[in-house]
Amino acid sequence: MRSTKLIALAVASISAQLASWPSIARAQSFPSGPVTIIIPIGAGGADAIARIIGERVSKTWGQPVVVVNKPGAGTMLGTEAVARAKPDGHTIGMAISALTINPAIRASMAYDTLKDIRGITLLANAAMVGAVHASVPASNAKEFIAWAKTKKPDEIAYLTPGIGTLGHISGELFQHAAGIKMLHVPYQESNRAVTDFIAGQGQAFFGLWQSIEALVRADKVKVLGIFNKTRMADYPNVPTIAETLPGVETISRLGAIAPGGTPKAVLDKISTDFNEVIRMPDVAERFRPFGMVPVGTTPEEFDAVIAKELVEWKDVLGRAGVQPN
């Protein structure tokens, strides 16, 4: 009886090892050719970070890594390209917070975020900011809200990098909590929005702190506040939005994603290699000008973040009155 049990255990163990071999083999052979990293927005922080990572892992992998910008539809065009790609690890996507925001504000999408996308790693977090044009007669959030309440909804335009981006949502949450109405003017990417904002095409801007940091230092814009929970160490004089509007907080996330169905061993390899790069001291310093703080997670941990935020954004935006369209 004992020998029979031992044989059964041995067979089970061998079977488990045999079952894992195809996945291990795929990881060992990855990458077998060029790897493409798709950026779902225009040139900027995510683009630069992808190139920094691609430059390093290309040497590790012995294969070229090509970074392609595919902006549009609030990041959905680029994300769909990732979702529809062959699930072998050779197509990787960069995902910003719009990945988990879009399902809460879109009546229909061409892909299912949970089924068609797998997390690789949460690469970095960055601060969001609200700012107003120098011509606006307000120097802080409290003064801006008071001024905005004297205006009609279409008299105040707030510019953002696009519909469904965290800049858009930050602006929506701000005006809902403040009890004001503003006109949303979305762009395809941040640089153009900032350029037009400075030119006076809108009274307010909501987007990444990094996108206007130089303008803040040059006193060319007025900062309402950042959407972090606490003030930034480098800019202790910049208040948080929550100091004026308690509970209004957002944080920008940048992660790497892959098509659903990508083998676990391949996901693990990419995650390990990406995380090794972002933890290099010199790479962390290269993140700094973009206002990004390296994080690094396992695929499973990033999947959990995605699933959690899908629920949270639906709840938060529903309570703020933001309806799917």
Domain ranges for the chain, please list them.
32-126+252-319, 128-243
- Name the DSSP class of 96: -
pLDDT of res. 165: 84
* pLDDT recorded at residue 280: 94
**Residue range 128-243 in CATH 3.40.190.10:** yes
Residues 6+ apart with CB under 8 A from 191: 42, 43, 44, 211
Determine contact, residues 256/306, Cβ cutoff 8 Å. no
- Its pTM stands at 0.80
Q: What confidence category does residue 27 fall into, taking pLDDT thresholds of 50, 70 and 90?
A: low
- Yes or no: say if 98 and 250 are a contact pair by the CB < 8 Å rule: no
Comparison of pLDDT for 65 and 324, the residue scoring more? 65
pLDDT for res 87: 98
Q: Can you tell me the distance from the alpha carbon of 171 to that of 73, in angstroms, rounded to the nearest whole number?
A: 18
Rounded Cα distance between 320 and 318, Å, is 5
Q: Do domains 32-126+252-319 and 128-243 have the same CATH topology?
A: yes
Give residue-wise pLDDT tens across range 114-169.
Answer: 999 999 999 999 999 999 999 999 999 999 999 999 999 889 999 998 887 899 99
> What's the CATH superfamily of 32-126+252-319?
Bordetella uptake gene, domain 1 (3.40.190.150)
Burial 201-219 (b: 16+ CB within 10 A, else e): ebbbbbbbbbbbbebbeee
Q: Is the pLDDT of residue 68 over 90?
A: yes
pLDDT at 17 > cutoff 70: no
> In the β-sheet with 35-39, what is the strand arrangement from edge to edge?
65-69, 35-39, 91-95, 252-259, 117-126, 292-294
| Structure confidence at residue 50 (pLDDT) | 93
How does residue 18 score in pLDDT terms, banded at 50, 70 and 90? low
